[in-house]
Chains A and B, each alone.
Chain A
Amino acid sequence: MHRITEFFVGLLFGLGLLLSGMTDPAKVLGFLDLFGTWDPSLAFVMGGAIAVGFFAFALARKRTQSFLGGALHLPKSTDIDKRLVIGGLTFGAGWGLAGFCPGPGIVSMASGEVKAAVFVAAMVVGMAIFEVAERSGWRQRMGV
């Protein structure tokens, strides 16, 4: 049951990305081009998603279990630190460079786009580098 619902949610999320325009890097860059000819569409993506999500998370906070009877894995960290900000800035720089964030990269790879597959491969390498840096203590020594 769990595996079926997880698959279904992944599918639904992918469909949402495709319909919204998020999987089209030219559209994403049009949204990020605030000082050029600006396409505000993606603000509607976030607005629509949060309008629904707000009620779901308000309900989740009041519950102790998921509907399937498992644990509710709500984030515990509330730290606003250098690591969070540097990570956000780094991610945003990469997002603005090619117009892909993780979800749309994965979905466009499945659409058969070679460049999206290269993006996802590089992203996985970046994630792995961070994981190694974290485990070996490089990150802490660099003060991030």
Chain B
Amino acid sequence: MTIDWANFTPWASLSGGILLGVASAFFILVNGRVLGISGISGGLLPPKLGDAGWRVAFLLGMLAAPLVYGLLAPEGFVQAPRIDAGFATIVAAGLLVGLGTRCGSGCTSGHGVCGLSRLSPRSLVATLAFMGAGFAMVFVVRHVL
């Protein structure tokens, strides 16, 4: 293993992480909800009466983020997503992420941030599973195939 110092952004990543933590803290304490993106969006399939409004409000806030970020962020902090995968790979990835997050009841936010913050053994197992599979997939794609 060699460290990729050229792309290493500890301060931006730490600051962004703190924002994710503040959002998760606010959501559980003020709204009484666990901030998990796959759970929030998956709960709209299909929408249930009286349970859709908070999900939609949250997702609309997320969709507004790039616009607000463009206005607030200093120059050099706006990095357009670099997406190297082709369309077929993107579709396969989306299907796996959709199936897997619903089957495992959570993703990087619900298990990885909120679950580990709660010291939940269940979320630790889920996080180890998806991180392990992520490392393995990149290893296979970049170094084996």
Residues of B within 8 A of A3 (CB): 53-54, 57
Per-residue CB contact flags for chain B residues 11-24 toward chain A (1 = under 8 Å, else 0) read 01111111111111
Chain A, range 119-144, C-beta contacts under 8 Å to B: 119-131, 134, 139, 144
Alpha-carbon separation in the docked complex, A34 to B97 (Å):
21
Nearest CB to that of A112 among chain B residues? B66
Whether the pair A91, B23 counts as a contact (CB closer than 8 A) is: no
Contacts A48-B14, A90-B104, A94-B92 given; indicate if A84 touches B125 (C-beta within 8 A).
Answer: yes
Q: A92 touches which one: B102, B105, B129 (CB < 8 A)?
A: B129
Q: Is the interface of A mostly helix, strand, loop or mixed?
A: helix
Alpha-carbon separation in the docked complex, A29 to B17 (Å):
18
Contacts A25-B85, A88-B129 given; indicate if A10 touches B57 (C-beta within 8 A).
Answer: yes
Alpha-carbon separation in the docked complex, A131 to B25 (Å):
29
Interface on A for B, CB 8 Å cutoff?
Answer: 2-27, 29-30, 32-42, 44-57, 59-61, 63, 65-68, 70-75, 77-80, 83-113, 115-116, 118-131, 134, 139, 144
Interface on B for A, CB 8 Å cutoff?
Answer: 1-4, 7-10, 12-35, 37-38, 41-42, 45, 53-54, 57-69, 72-73, 77, 79-85, 87, 89-105, 107-109, 111-122, 125-139, 141-143
